[in-house]
Amino acid sequence: MSQQHLSEQEIIRRDKLKELQQLGIDAYPAPLFPVTHYSEDIKAGFSEETKDAYAQVTVAGRIMSLNGKGKVFFIKIQDSKGIIQLYVRRDDICPGEDKTLFDTVVKRLTDLGDIVGVTGAVFVTHTGETSVHAQSFTMLTKSLKPLPVVKRDAEGNVFDAVTDPEFRYRQRYADLIINADVKDTFVKRTKVINTIRDFLNEQGALEVDTPVLQAIPGGAAARPFVTHHNALDVPFYLRIANELYLKRLIVGGFDWVYEFSRNFRNEGMDRTHNPEFTVLEWYTAYKDYYWMMETTEKLFERLALAVHGTTDVQVGDKTISFKAPFKRISILDAIKENTGIDVSQMNEEALRATCQQLNISVAPSMGKGKLIDELFGATSEHTYTQPTFIIDYPVEMSPLTKKHREKAGLVERFELMINGKEIANAYSELNDPIDQRERFEDQVKLMERGDDEAMYIDYDFLRALEYGMPPTSGIGIGIDRLVMLLTNQPSIQDVLLFPQMRPESFE
């Protein structure tokens, strides 16, 4: 960045860096700094009885406040666990005649945002604040860009946070520094993933990896990102789902496999959709969608307890109960319940007329399955706040799902709705290779009508089914939406560390 594009504060900080260098102080020293204690651990563990254990600690962190005059400065630093105060006195860190470290470095060349380290003894100030009385002071990183100002009251509580999403999502590194609750969201995200992993591993499931670059974008109805494989000189696709690969492993003899899959869909962006997202999928041999519903209930109940210690979770102004069992209703009954219209016997023409009657916009390329999906999405999906299994979908909506054992024209499928959004999608998996081939061919006909989300035919997957896949149940769970629920975040961008955004211009 040229000098003419720098702000006044950025120029001042660069001048301070030069002055530090002229004093022989390396503002970016070798990375080893022997931290022994962290802020919250000190505050939780220090007492009159334990003070001897804290007679010498070494802490490091980013300066969040800097106050003082004369020979004493109070500095608050933020480390990975929280904030702690440093008591820095000139004669303690400069015991000899040379007072440059304090008078020049601490008082004049140190700024908010700098990363420093100190060694000293823990004590409690007259105001009752646990602090570190510094005996040494080391500049570890000079910050050249001022942090946005976060306003706090006398007790340190934030009353004017930085909330601009454009800034927060583009500069997540700064967002994490200045908005402490943001880090907590991502700690909870990891807890969610680890809890799921423990749940599955305890029951004997095997975690696996499948390709991100795929020759056939299969396993879902979605528009893929297209790339080119130079070595093979053929087009490849970023995966839209990993379903067909995991099913191949069931064919190969694994009884239960799962994967946290980073998927990519070249579609719209909104508060619940991001082109790059994470899905958990698992497939279990010799199970059906009834078993899957019961297992899913157990998992979600455990997740709520792990994150909140209770099955009642606050989401906005609603309290959502993750206590099993969850409500179950068929998709056709759900539409009837919310519209008063029975669509169960309607053909494509009648469904299209019903959509028009309800002012639901539909495309000419949509077949019967897509029309029912649009009807449910527009009239019913948003009404299910408490966890609800929407079950028994029409066969046209589910090209990878086994036909219902009792209800003609339907398949054994459920979607789990929570807070008006789909969180999970599961089937009794179709394992009849002839039926599967016919369903794929129906998808090709939809593609020819202009449906750019219709599925491709995966001939290798059909070959795998011809070897024989045991009766299997599978599920996909949207991890990002699940974390939104469990952390009470309104937007998917708030649970992604680096959401996609239009590139910035730095010119």
User: Which residues define the annotated binding site?
Assistant: 415, 422
506 burial (CB, 10 Å; 0-12 / 13-18 / 19+) is exposed
Closest CA to 440 of 231, 432, 133: 432
Residue numbers in the known binding site for Mg(2+) are 415, 422
How many DSSP H helices and E strands does the chain contain? 15, 20
* Distance set, CA 310 to CA 181, 188, 281, 305, 317 (Å): 20, 15, 25, 5, 17
Indicate left, alpha or beta for 485 from its phi (over 0: left) and psi (-120 to 50: alpha).
alpha
Closest CA to 433 of 458, 415, 412: 458
Q: Which helix (H) or strand (E) holds 433?
A: helix 433-448
User: Which ranges constitute the DSSP H helices of 264-404?
Assistant: 289-308, 331-339, 348-357, 368-379
Question: Two tokens at 208?
Answer: 């696996």
SS (H, E, C) 56-75: CEEEEEEEEEEEEECCEEEE
Which residue reads 């600690």 in tokens? Answer: 57
* Distance set, CA 172 to CA 164, 312, 317, 450 (Å): 12, 30, 27, 39
- Cis, peptide link before residue 325, omega less than 30° from 0: yes
Which residue reads 């009353």 in tokens? Answer: 159
Q: Which helix (H) or strand (E) holds 507?
A: none
Question: Two tokens at 378?
Answer: 């527009």
Q: What is the CA radius of gyration of the chain?
A: 29
Give the number of other CB atoms < 10 A from CB of residue 323: 15
Closest CA to 189 of 288, 280, 75: 280
Q: What is the DSSP letter of 381?
A: G
User: Which ranges constitute the DSSP H helices of 128-271?
Assistant: 165-170, 172-178, 180-202, 243-251
Give the number of other CB atoms < 10 A from CB of residue 277: 19
Indicate left, alpha or beta for 90 from its phi (over 0: left) and psi (-120 to 50: alpha).
alpha
Tell me the C-alpha distance between 10 and 15, whole Å: 9
